[in-house]
A and B are shown apart, each in its own frame.
Chain A
Amino acid sequence: GENVEQHPSTLSVQEGDSAVIKCTYSDSASNYFPWYKQELGKGPQLIIDIRSNVGEKKDQRIAVTLNKTAKHFSLHITETQPEDSAVYFCAASTGNNDMRFGAGTRLTVKP
């Protein structure tokens, strides 16, 4: 089955700096890669996703890149703000009810 690895487990940045979280996946059949943000006491919220036919996708300050050959994808957050502080999860799926999540990255943005 799919195995998703996520790094780093914790990340601390200064407000205004960029943050990058990286994930690798094992199943070459995976074709859908979402990112979730989980704030304390809340459920995960979908913030951006990408399909395997696209190499990059951007939405305001967040972007995701995908390298199918290397089987890795990354989340980039620019101009970080304190409200970006949360736990971020990557995930991968083949589209057959088999979504698998990474272990999570705790991002802290220091004002």
Chain B
Amino acid sequence: SAVISQKPSRDICQRGTSLTIQCQVDSQVTMMFWYRQQPGQSLTLIATANQGSEATYESGFVIDKFPISRPNLTFSTLTVSNMSPEDSSIYLCSVGGQGAEKLFFGSGTQLSVL
């Protein structure tokens, strides 16, 4: 299994600001994903972070709101832009094998927006 380091672990932000979350993996991985987990809820896929190309977003998520970078096979960032209280969630970085099976998750970023 991969070791996934995610930063920051938590943050409290003001409405209208942006936060960038970093995800570092200890080995090269093909598939990297970003998930959102709203309070007491399940995991919802935001997007697949593609190395060297634009991320692939799920329905309901757009690049302007959640820009993603993936400059290499071990690192990715997710930015939550122009935040509102509704963005308060846990954001999770995940890596997986072919077909996005056997997903491994970072410890998450607990975001609170005031």
A-to-B contact residues, CB < 8 Å: 32, 34, 36, 41-46, 49, 89, 93-99, 101-104
Q: Bound complex: CA of A96 vs CA of B48, how far in Å?
A: 12
Between-chain CB contacts (< 8 Å), 15 pairs: A32-B99, A34-B102, A36-B105, A41-B107, A42-B108, A43-B107, A43-B108, A45-B105, A46-B104, A49-B102, A93-B100, A93-B101, A99-B103, A101-B42, A101-B43
- Tally of A-B residue pairs with Cβ under 8 A? 58
A42-B107 contact in complex given A101-B42, A101-B43, A103-B42, C-beta closer than 8 Å: yes
Q: Bound complex: CA of A45 vs CA of B102, how far in Å?
A: 10
Secondary structure of the B contact surface, majority rule: mixed
Q: Please encode chain B, from 3 to 37, with 1 for each CB lying within 8 Å of some chain A CB and 0 for all others.
A: 01010000000000000000000000001000000
Q: Does B45 touch A at the CB level, under 8 Å?
A: yes
A47 → chain B closest CB, angstroms: 12
Please tell me which one of the listed residues B1, B45, B98, B108 contacts residue A99 in the complex, with CB atoms under 8 A apart: B45
